[in-house]
Amino acid sequence: MMLSPERLALPDYEYLAQRHVLTYMEDAVCQLLENKEDVSQYGIARFFTEYFNSVCQGTHILFREFSFVQATPHNRASFLRAFWRCFRTVGKNGDLLTMKEYHCLLQLLCPDFPLELTQKAARIVLMDDAMDCLMSFSDFLLAFQIQFYYSEFLESVAAIYQDLLSGKNPNTVIVPTSSSGQHRQRPVLGEASMLEGVEASLFYQRLESLCDRHKYSCPPPALVKEVLSNVQRLTFYGFLVALSKHRGISQALGALPDKGDLMHDPAMDEELDRLLAQIPDLVNSVSASPEASCLPSRTPHRAGFSWRPLHHARKVDAESDGSTEETDESEI
């Protein structure tokens, strides 16, 4: 088996720490103990094989708690990729959604996903517009990628930006937030500071020092310098917009395809076509079965069969009282 140059250059303990192997081992053991009755039927070896296969495939983060989803860079990239693959049809269909509706989609994959992160990603897209404005899928996804993957780094950047505006000592050490899922409120910037911004060269000097000592993920310093070299002054959100639109930064992160290919996923399209092709056969086989003829007729539940875009749901719900309760025959 050939080992990568990176693997050969690092001691074992450093390589394992860099790849967060202990995090996955601890999680696998916890999953094993929680499902020990099921695991006993097919063996521990098979369980660990399937667990680490799911880690490699990036499906291990689905429907997990946020503390696990954000625990490692690989988990974050896997979540971004899963969100894109699951909901890219929103962009393919040209649907525009609000921040709250995108948050609902995120919660389908991670039930306790924090609203604050979604709000920060939306602010990168909307800037000064109201938070209930509509956004395209590609715009939100690229902004969300930067905000989610580099969350702790951006918190430190916000603090540096605020210090530069207020003229504080540039040697102040910025301590990143912990990875416990608690995120500090981003500094509220006045209208004057939003318009004026800070000097780009000085801003980069502070960011370069931050990248050198930051223990969390941060964009490649060379690409950050490239972003800042094109302007003399910039605002905080102007910087975030530039990061989200920079092709090189997205490629370095490696979770999503280029913006022009966001609506294309041939492997997923092929799988969906295969599943859709099976649906008529499945319906026909169920209808033709002897058991199906014995089933009582029943009016379908109005919300149980077809998916509808979230931004159309409010209109439908407003036209009915929303009641789905059935009358008990004993009360008639």
CA distances from 79 to 26, 74, 119 (A): 20, 9, 18
Element (H, E) at 67: helix 66-69
pLDDT for the residue 79: 98
Whether the model pTM is above 0.85:
no
**Alpha-carbon gap, residue 308 to 317, rounded angstroms:** 12
For residue 47, is it within any domain?
A: yes
Number of domains in the chain: 1
Cβ partners under 8 Å of residue 171, min gap 6: none
Q: Is residue 49 part of a domain?
A: yes
Within a domain: residue 219? no
The H or E element that residue 234 is part of is strand 233-234
| pLDDT tens for each residue of the chain, 332 residues long | 444 555 556 677 777 777 899 999 999 999 999 998 888 888 999 999 999 999 999 999 999 999 999 999 999 999 999 999 999 988 888 899 999 999 999 999 999 999 999 999 999 999 877 888 999 999 999 999 999 999 999 999 999 999 999 887 555 555 555 444 444 455 454 444 445 789 999 999 999 888 887 766 899 999 999 999 989 999 999 999 999 999 999 999 999 998 888 887 777 777 777 777 777 665 455 455 554 444 444 333 333 223 333 333 433 344 444 444 444 444 43
Q: Does 205 fall in a domain?
A: no
Task: Determine how many CB atoms are found less than 10 A away from the CB of residue 181.
Answer: 17
User: Does some domain include residue 165?
Assistant: no
Total residues belonging to the chain = 332
CB 176 within 8 A of CB 216: yes
Is residue 208 in a domain?
Answer: no
> DSSP assignment of 88-107, as one string?
HHHHHTT--B-HHHHHHHHH
Residue 29 lies in domain: 9-57
1 located within any domain:
no
Within a domain: 306: no
